[in-house]
Amino acid sequence: MIETTQIRKVLIANRGEIAVRIIRACRELGGIRTVAVYSDADREALHVRYADEAYHIGPPAPRESYLNIPRLIEVAKRSGADAVHPGYGFLSERAEFARAVIEAGLTWIGPSPEAIAKMGDKLAARELMEAAGVPIVPGTPPGLNDGALLHEARRIGFPLMVKAAAGGGGKGMRVVHDESQLESALASAHREAEAAFGDGTVYLEKLLEGARHIEFQILADMHGNTIHLGERECSIQRRHQKLFEEAPSPFMDPDLRERMGAAAIAAARAVNYVNAGTVEFLVDANKNFYFLEMNTRLQVEHPVTELVTGVDLVKEQIRIARGRRMGPVDGVTISGWAAECRINAEDPYNNFLPSIGRVTVHVAPTGPGVRLDSGIYAGYEVTPYYDSMLAKLITWGETRGEALLRMRRALSEYKIMGLKTNLPFHQKLLDSTNFLAGRYNTQFVEQVLNLQEDSTGGELAEVAAIVATLVEHQQRQNALQFVQLPNRRYSPWKWSVRR
């Protein structure tokens, strides 16, 4: 029998809005104390102000602060923390950090180091998924040199992708349209992968043009129980970086959801997965789906799943780490629709060039169905050292139409001054008739939104007509629910022992 672990103080090995998000979840769980860490650049950060305790960990450079494993472990011990939450990014998918936390006698709020290592190696993950019966994109086996990769490229056929074996986030990734581009693409991908991940290994995958990027949220406990909480549509991307997400997907139908959900659970079980994770797929126009990768951590876009399921994923992560057993639940009921815009410090009118400076005005949108996960405030200094994301704006509605109309309203209310942000990009997206109708894929931003005038230009009557159609369609599709549960909005988990 697995004993329930006591967690009284959590060190958050991260920064920004996700650190604030974890602090709030800990407080709502009944007084779990929190420990923030900060670099020189983050002395005045919001997560430092919100935490019960805060410790300086080094200079601004991530390698000397947020990626400094010995320093983080030393602070965890000194502060008396008994658990570590990695958030996302930084060390969240580094097996050596998870192992160091566990070896220090602390509770790791995440999957096992073994699962992280298996899914972190993209080539090994492909082999595991193929063995588990999960469809994979046609590609190359591991360990091939550039000469062999050239031969395999001819077999697979163009266009294709050169991808880093050890990374993600678009690093070490190149699109190759014909054989003449392959040699230079391999060389540049090797260099970028080596610089980003310390491993220059790459492999090839068939490029599925016009595909959609759809992912499934997984929760699994220590007792062998695994469920999925539905899908998120993540196809609005630029250079493989997600900009907008929604749940559920307007592309999905009940049969496809059932098949992809089963594949996601099979993928998690193939590595004995525990805690929260996400299985990502590419889906072509004919609704054939293929395993892309598994993110062994909390996702940036997790709020849209929370809003349509009523499940607080961060709280569930902590409860799972404590040893909780899943209740008699086979699925989760979806309620309504949710959308998320990533608000970044970058100039959409200047090729999304990153922007730095002091936030002089920060007016947050409010009202029914609006949530803002933010790490900034008026007076906050945005530096060049870290990711450009400032906040996540999330809306919920009974239908997709209502969620998107609320997002339009919230974007118009949101005011950030002192630096450039991508708020205008999201406003243009929400004016796109193709987007509103759900006609988009992973190439939409580059090939449609930026290359033709697809905006209604404020012609609200046309937008209202499209949204009315969406509302009617959604009302007809309210059967796109998972296995029905009793009418409840709380977590599908229970204690295996009394608290």
Q: How many helices (H) and strands (E) does the chain have?
A: 16, 24
CA separation for the pair 258, 480 (Å, rounded): 10
Per-residue burial over 373-409, b if 16 or more Cβ lie within 10 Å, else e, is bbbbeeebbbeebbbbbbbbbbbbbebbbbbbbbbbb
Query: Is 342 among the catalytic positions?
Result: no
What is the number of residues in the chain? 499
Could you say which of 21, 232, 257, 297 is catalytic? Answer: 297
Please give the C-alpha separations between residue 455 and each of 78, 163, 393, 403, 440, in angstroms, as whole numbers: 55, 34, 21, 19, 14
- What is the sign, positive or negative, of the torsion defined by CA atoms of 227, 218, 436, 412? positive
Q: Compute, in degrees rounded to 10, the torsion defined by CA atoms 185, 189, 191, 195.
A: 160
Residues linked to residue 232 through DSSP beta bridges, in sequence order: 215
Calpha distance 400→403 (Å, rounded): 5
What is the b/e burial string over 291-308, where b = at least 16 CB atoms within 10 angstroms of the residue's CB? bbbbbbbbbbbbbbbbbb
Beta strands in 158-274 (DSSP E): 160-164, 174-176, 202-206, 212-220, 226-238, 241-247
Closest by CA position to 243, among listed 341, 169, 168: 341
Query: Between the CA of residue 400 and those of 87, 119, 410, 435, 477, what are the distances in Å?
Result: 29, 33, 15, 12, 11
For residue 346, what are the β-bridge partners?
A: 354
Give the Cα separation of 333 and 278 in Å (integer): 18
Strands 381-382 and 353-354, by their bridges, are unpaired
Residues annotated catalytic, as ranges? 297
